[in-house]
Structure 1
Amino acid sequence: MAAVTPRRRGGSQQSFTNAEYTDILFVYGFCDGDSAKARAEYIRRFPNRRPPNVRVFSNTYRRMHKTGTVQRRQHDAGRPRLYAPEDEEEILSHFSEDPTISTNIVANRLGISQWKVWFTVHSNGLYPYHFTPVHVLHEGDPIRRVDFCRFMLHRDAEDPYFLKRILWTDESKFDQDGITNYHNIHYWAPKVDGNPNKKKETGSQRRFGLNVWMGIVDDCLIGPHFLPNMLNSENYENFLREELYSLLEDVPLQTRQKMIYQHDGCPAHFRRSVRQWLDESFPNRWIGRGGPIPWPARCPDITPVDFYVWGHMKALVYDNLTGPISSQEVLRQRIIDAASIMRNNLTSRVTKTEIRRRCRKCIRNRGAQFEQH
């Protein structure tokens, strides 16, 4: 067998050494030419090595059978070359070493077309997946998240009405542009007509927005209520004292009498007078920073307003079919209309079944982010 020495090809080193190829051939023969079994046997025998792809075994045997060597043909560096079966293992080795690498980079390194790289990875069952954005956790957050979730599940087991009585609340900013994900925006048109070069206006110099408060308790959606754009502890306290109870008029009386108020730990919520009002209005029945039920910071994945309400509402408000948002009044009406649509479709599954499921996932994941699992 001819010796194989590491060499550069389009900026990449050869995948396996001479000794590794020898073992690949031996294991392939030991397993009677079954590539899948050969790969499993190779991993068992050499646990500290990088495992070859399944196709490497058959490709190496075929190359040895036809040419009498496992050494690949030499090519002029930097020149495009035809795709050969033995290139497959080198393509796959790039994705094995760096799963985030792009097909374009691999194609340039190996001097082959990007289409050939795509064909190879898809033929071997590899598909691109998007990263899931998750919130940042600080030191100590996972422990506090687990403690809170355990408390919620224990109380839910003791009292079947506990989750039905929690009023989950949050604030969010809306403006005329919203958040645009251009990767998911398409305009379908006949190819014969050419590219229509559609545009989407954004980044207006004359900017306007609204700060929206929403709540959800059992199967009741509360709000929207429009707060000052610059929320501080004083205007938040005024909202609690003067506006909150009128927003709760449609909530059943038996729920209001034992309602548990929840908000997060932002500075406007932590003012002493705000906490005093909550102690008086919801004695031992409020969740928040400094409250009788401590709220763990940075937990949007556990609050229904965050993981359910805002996403659905913004999808309705910024629906492309409804046209541009030309004024603050149009934006306000879109938010009100979106809330009405959501109110008609809301069930208690969001505040009961989904909360239980997320608390269990948080505990299983030891307090780390879990929405990507």
Structure 2
Amino acid sequence: EQKSSGRQRTVTTPENVEAVRQSIFRSPKRSTHKHAVALHISNRSLRRILHEHLHFHPYKMVVVQELSPRDFQNRITASETLLETLPPDTLVFFSDETHFHLSGYVKKQNMRYCSGNNPRELHERPLHSDKVTVWCALSRVGVIGPYFFEEDSHAVTVNSQRYVDMIKNSIIPALEEMHLGNVWFQQDGATAHTARASMAVLRAKFPGRLISLRGDIPWAAHSPDLTPCVFMGIPQAEVFKHRPTNLLQLKNVIRQEVAQIPVHMLERAEESSRKRLHQCIENGGQHLQDICFKTTSFKTLKYVLSLAIHKFCLSAIFFLLFAFKKGSFYAPPCSFEKKTLPMSLFLMTT
């Protein structure tokens, strides 16, 4: 009887590579885990085939508006003005609002689509789904929010009066509690945000420090991709892991997840904001694509260390030492790090 060499037979055969390719083409939105189960191969092998053989990547689908040539120039101008006016250490609160549907749909859902190229993908929402409208503002030092626009526990349309009420009763008290001094505030050009009453209150609170349509630094329309909010924001996938069954549970989970956003994630988001402005200029004002965060992930460190210990993998040890020497290496923007911001930096209100 012939003895085994001890080395496991590889599953990255041409047949399996082609099988993975066809499976992805048939169901590009299916998770890698489900593809692996259907093909009877490990999830690790499938990911290796996707990245090393097919050069497929999980793209993040973001709902954006189509840009016109005029939008391109406005985005370039706004990016150049922000880079010239604001020093790198300027403290800016970037704000945004979105809808979380109880069905699991999110207005700005971070969905994944496996492909060799970044697709133009649409995502339909269910009709008449219960939802909450939530607002947050992010900076490197903390988060203001979440704030829910509602009356009698039902989501309501954001108008100028409701927006002003939020500014006076939530944003201003939160900033005063943080004792941050002169900070900048950014908002998009939604009608409720730029109404006369809203702008009057914002100009009084942020004199000379308002980034907005009709503000001190004009914000380009149709440009959510230039803020950190669209790329990190509320951990949407984490929210629906809890499977909330009613709106109260959904709001509580959102509060919980916002409170757990780690410090390093906020710092990385701010660092990436200036990179996005530079990329917007280089990209001719078009939508940004394929933005990656370069961060040291404790999940990745733990995985590499386990390889070194349990499989005596010398290359993993060298990789680990190299990662620490360089200070950081590319990894998914997630972490086992438990350090979070003090609760005093968060405003939890309804």
User: How high is the TM-score relative to the length of structure 1?
Assistant: 0.54
**Superposed CA offset, 1:178-226 (max 9, x none):** 2399x979xxxxxxxxxxxxxxxx9697x42211110112231221111
Q: Please, which of 201, 211, 230 is the counterpart of residue 133 of structure 2? A: 211
Q: Please, which of 124, 147, 154 is the counterpart of residue 77 of structure 2? A: 147
**Superposed CA offset, 1:56-82 (max 9, x none):** xxxxxxxxxxxxxxxxxxxxxxxxxxx
2:205 is the alignment partner of 1:277? no
2:210 is the alignment partner of 1:286? yes
| Paired position in structure 1 for 2:187 | 263
Closer, same or farther in 2 for the Cα pair 1:210/1:367, shift >3 Å?
same
- Offset at 1:160? 3.9
| Paired position in structure 2 for 1:246 | 173
Of structures 1 and 2, the one scoring higher in RCO (CA 8 A, sep 6+) is 2
| Paired position in structure 1 for 2:161 | 234
Distance in structure 2 (CA, Å) of the matches to 1:328 and 1:146: 40
2:67 is the alignment partner of 1:137? yes
Distance in structure 1 (CA, Å) of the matches to 2:71 and 2:143: 29
Distance in structure 2 (CA, Å) of the matches to 1:166 and 1:128: 35
AA paired with 1:176? L
- Offset at 1:285? 1.0
Q: Please, which of 94, 100, 113 is the counterpart of residue 174 of structure 1? A: 100
Closer, same or farther in 2 for the Cα pair 1:126/1:174, shift >3 Å?
closer
**Superposed CA offset, 1:334-371 (max 9, x none):** 101101111455342211x2012111111111111221
Closer, same or farther in 2 for the Cα pair 1:278/1:128, shift >3 Å?
closer
Partner SS state of residue 199, structure 2: helix
* Percentage identity across paired residues of the two chains: 24
2:221 is the alignment partner of 1:297? yes
AA paired with 1:215? A
Contact 1:219 1:346 in 2 (8 A): no
Contact 1:212 1:224 in 2 (8 A): yes
**Superposed CA offset, 1:302-323 (max 9, x none):** 111122114xx2111012xx3x
Closer, same or farther in 2 for the Cα pair 1:131/1:166, shift >3 Å?
closer
**Consecutive aligned runs of 4 or more in structure 1 exceeding 6 Å deviation:** 129-132
AA paired with 2:240? Y
Closer, same or farther in 2 for the Cα pair 1:131/1:261, shift >3 Å?
closer
AA paired with 1:241? K
Q: Please, which of 273, 289, 294 is the counterpart of residue 371 of structure 1? A: 289
Distance in structure 2 (CA, Å) of the matches to 1:138 and 1:204: 29
Distance in structure 2 (CA, Å) of the matches to 1:293 and 1:283: 11
Partner SS state of residue 277, structure 2: helix
Contact 1:221 1:343 in 2 (8 A): no
- Offset at 1:246? 2.3
Contact 1:288 1:294 in 2 (8 A): yes
Distance in structure 2 (CA, Å) of the matches to 1:339 and 1:132: 20
**Superposed CA offset, 1:69-97 (max 9, x none):** xxxxxxxxxxxxxxxxxxxxxxxxxxxxx
Closer, same or farther in 2 for the Cα pair 1:175/1:127, shift >3 Å?
same
Closer, same or farther in 2 for the Cα pair 1:153/1:239, shift >3 Å?
same
AA paired with 1:154? E
Q: Please, which of 274, 278, 286 is the counterpart of residue 360 of structure 1? A: 278
2:239 is the alignment partner of 1:317? yes
- Offset at 1:234? 1.3
Contact 2:81 2:217 in 1 (8 A): no
Distance in structure 2 (CA, Å) of the matches to 1:336 and 1:265: 26
2:83 is the alignment partner of 1:161? no
Aligned length: 228
RMSD over equivalenced CA pairs, Å: 3.5
